[in-house]
Structure 1
C-alpha cells in the first residue's frame, strides 16, 4: 500500500494515513487502501482493536483531495459520496472490532468525517476540527451532516457546518465530539492503553454491542430489538461460557473470541 501504514502489536493494529506532504488528505486511492486494510483487519484473529491516526505532527486528515472532484458533474458527485460512504465511512462505523480515532492535528472535512465514523475519538491538545465544505459551495458528503449532529447535537452541528469554523480540542471535548484530550506526545500510547483495556473483554460481545449501539441511529430499525437479539445470541458463545465460569470461579476470564 502506498498511502497507509499498518503496525500490529499486542493485538492492537495502528493504521496510519501516510501522505504527510498532502496533510494526509483522502484521495480515491487512500480510501480504497483504507477499505482493504479494514477488511483484512476485521478477519485477522490476531487483531482485537484498531487505532487510526495520521502521519506527522500537523494533521490527522486535513480533508479530501479537492483536485480529484473539482470538475465532477451532479451524477459524479452523488456517486463519489455513495461510494466513499460504502467503502470507508459506513464500513468503519459497522466494523466488528473497536476503531479508535487518535486525532493528531487537523481533522477537517473528510478527516473529521473519518474520525466520526470511528467508534470514539481521542484528540491531541493541538487538534483542530471542522467541516469547511460550504466554503467550496458543497456540503459534507461522507456522513458529516448526520454523524456530527448525532455526536454534538443539532444546533452545534448547524453552526459548525454553516460557519465552516474550526473548533479546538477542548471545545470538542466539551461538545462530546472527543472522549479525551492529551498531549500529542501522549496520544498514541494513551489510545493503545484504552485499546488494551478493551482487549481484555469479550471480542464477540463487543462486536454485538457495536451492532446494537449503531442500530439506534438507523432509520426503520428498532435498536431495542437488536439489543434483545444480540443479548440472546451471546448465550450461545464460548466467550459467554468462559466469562460466566470465570466469574463464578473468581478468576480472570480468558476469552477465546468465539
Structure 2
C-alpha cells in the first residue's frame, strides 16, 4: 500500500485508467485517509468520469500508506459544523456520493489493504466486491463518538451480513478481523497486505474480459433484486428495451417530421442469425 507520489497536505483522490480498469486512489495517509470536503468533491468528479466512460469496465478503490484503508470522514472537520451544515454538507452529500459509487454501471472492487472504520467501511460497502488484508480490521465505530453511521452503513451492512450481525457490529463498535469478515460475507477474498491490490486487479481484469453491456445490465438487475435502486433498474432496462423497437425509431422520426407516429408494436429485428456460423 505504498504511494510514491507526493501527498497533498489536505489529501487528494486521484483517478488513473489502465486499459479497461480504473483505479481510484485515496491519498491522505497521515490522517488515516479520512475524507475532507475537497476529497469528496474530487471523488464526485472521478465517478462522473467513470460513469461516462465507454472504455472502463471495472473499478478498483484503494488507498495510500500502511495504517488504514480509510477512517471515513475527518472527525475534526465535521465536528466543527453546525447541525444544519452537518446534515447538508456531510450526510446528504456523503449519501449521494456513495450511492453514486454503488450505482456505477461498472463493477467496483474495494482493496481494503488496511483498517476500514466508520465511513471507510461504508466506502467499501458501496463497492460490489471487497478484498481484505489478512491483518486488517473493519467496523462501524460511530456510536463511540456519540453519532451513528451516516453514509449508508446501517442499510448496506445489514444487507451484507444480516440484521443481527449488523446490530452486533454497530451497537458495540465491534472491530471485525479478516477471517470473521470472510465468514460473514462482509468480504469476498483475503490476501496478504502487499498482495491486496494485486488480487483486486486480478479480479478486475477477469471482469474486464466479460461482455460489458451484458455485465453492466447484470449488475443492475442484481442490485435491483437486492433493493438497491429497484426503481432506477426497472426504468433503465425498460428504456433500453424500448429504444430497440421500431416504434422508438418511428416515434423520433415522426416527432422530427412533425407528423403523427404510426406505431407497429415490433422490435427492430434484422431477422434470424446463425450465431454459430456467422
Alignment partner of 1:36 out of 22, 45, 55: 45
Aligned match of 2:276: 248
Residue 177, structure 1, aligned to residue 205, structure 2: no
> What TM-score, normalized to structure 1?
0.84
Distance 1:26 1:249, change over 3 A: farther
Residue 3, structure 1, aligned to residue 3, structure 2: no
What are the within-5 Å matches in structure 2 for residues 223-242 of structure 1? 229=238
1:13, 1:51 within 8 Å by CA — same for their partners in 2? yes
Alignment partner of 2:207 out of 195, 198, 202: 198
**CA positional deviation for 1:72:** 3.0
Measured in 2, the distance between the counterparts of 1:168 and 1:220 equals 30
Alignment partner of 1:97 out of 92, 106, 110: 106
**CA positional deviation for 1:89:** 0.4
Q: CA RMSD in A?
A: 2.8
2:223, 2:230 within 8 Å by CA — same for their partners in 1? no
Residue 26, structure 1, aligned to residue 38, structure 2: no
Distance 1:21 1:11, change over 3 A: same
Alignment partner of 1:160 out of 159, 169, 188: 169
What are the within-5 Å matches in structure 2 for residues 44-59 of structure 1? 44-59=53-68
Aligned match of 2:82: 73
Residue 84, structure 1, aligned to residue 112, structure 2: no
Give the aligned length.
Answer: 243
Measured in 2, the distance between the counterparts of 1:6 and 1:141 equals 25
Measured in 2, the distance between the counterparts of 1:109 and 1:23 equals 12
Secondary structure, aligned partner of 1:69: helix
Secondary structure, aligned partner of 2:79: coil
Q: Unaligned stretches of 5+ in structure 1?
A: 251-258
**CA positional deviation for 1:205:** 1.5
Alignment partner of 2:141 out of 132, 151, 156: 132
Q: Where has structure 1 moved over 6 Å in runs of 4 or more?
A: 233-236
**CA positional deviation for 1:219:** 8.1
Deviation larger for 200-209 or 219-228 = 219-228
Q: Unaligned stretches of 5+ in structure 2?
A: 1-7, 246-268
**CA positional deviation for 1:78:** 2.2
Secondary structure, aligned partner of 1:248: coil
Aligned match of 1:187: 196
Q: Which has the larger radius of gyration?
A: 2
> What TM-score, normalized to structure 2?
0.79
1:213, 1:223 within 8 Å by CA — same for their partners in 2? no
Aligned match of 1:122: 131
Distance 1:194 1:134, change over 3 A: same
Measured in 2, the distance between the counterparts of 1:55 and 1:246 equals 51
Deviation larger for 2-11 or 61-70 = 2-11
